[in-house]
Structure 1
Amino acid sequence: MTHPLLLPMAAHVALAALLYVLLTVARAPKIWGIGQRADGSNPWATIEPRISANLSNQFEWPLFFYAACLLLIQGQVDSAVAVLLAWGFIAGRLIHSGVQVFTGNIRLRGLVFTINFLAVLGLWAVLLQAQLAGSAV
């Protein structure tokens, strides 16, 4: 049986893959000359650095998401709260990516990041609680 935490983890991998595709498309006019404007400029020039920065962000705080999920899976901790927090993390990542890529609103981005931050802290709290309660984590 598949552990329910695998699906949110796979969803984050899909988000990172989508960002790689978007970055490739955004860089195509500059690198391959595909999709340039008539004047030779890149129509994605303003958004390309934001996609790149967001892609880099997918390998920072999410590291702690993956670590918590893997430890919960390994310890066979089956927690509805953990699954809810994991999906909350994914929702927050999607919103955070949208805000970072399509707006320059740093304040909103920080607020949205709080969703991700708290969800991961919650996952670690579930993990620690399971450990303290004597689960095989």
Structure 2
Amino acid sequence: MPHPLIVPMTAHIALAAFLYVLLTVARAPAIWGIGRKDDGSNPWAGVEPRISANLSNQFEWPLFFHVACVLLIVRNDSGSWPLLLAWLFVAGRVLHSAVQIGTRNVRLRGLVFTVNFVAVLGLWAVMLVDASR
């Protein structure tokens, strides 16, 4: 049976894969002509840059999430706090993606990002506290 932290890590990877598919669909009218409007324009033109930016975001702060999880797995830490924080991070990433792609509300996006930020800091705090014992 895999370590419990593998599942939320895989969920985040699935989110990134979904965003790649969404970006491909959004770029299809411009790149391949598939789904163009009658006037030749791309119906996704307004949202495509936000999808692209969100996909890039999946390789910034989440890096620290994955590193913390790998270190916790190597230490064989399967406590409830790391798992709770990992799922909080994943839920925050999904919500962050929805806000960034679906709205232009930067303030809300910042608030949602704070969930991800705190969850990752929490994972590192758990690791440091356990390491000092």
Output the TM-score relative to the length of structure 2.
0.99
SS in 2 for 1:77: coil
Mapped partners of 2:54, 2:45: distance in 1: 15
Provide Cα deviations, 1:27-85, integer angstroms capped at 9, x if missing partner.
00000000000000000000000000000000000000000000000011111000000
Mapped partners of 1:78, 1:131: distance in 2: 14
Mapped partners of 1:127, 1:3: distance in 2: 16
Say what the alpha-carbon RMSD is for the aligned residues: 0.4
Mapped partners of 2:10, 2:84: distance in 1: 15
**Counterpart residue type for residue 35 of structure 2:** G
**Are positions 1:54 and 2:54 aligned together?**
yes
Of all paired residues, the percent bearing the same amino acid is: 68
**Are positions 1:11 and 2:11 aligned together?**
yes
**Are positions 1:37 and 2:74 aligned together?**
no
Mapped partners of 1:129, 1:77: distance in 2: 12
Which ranges in structure 2 are unaligned for 5 or more consecutive residues?
A: none
Output the TM-score relative to the length of structure 1.
0.96
**Structure 1 residue runs of 4 or more that deviate by more than 6 Å after TM superposition:** none
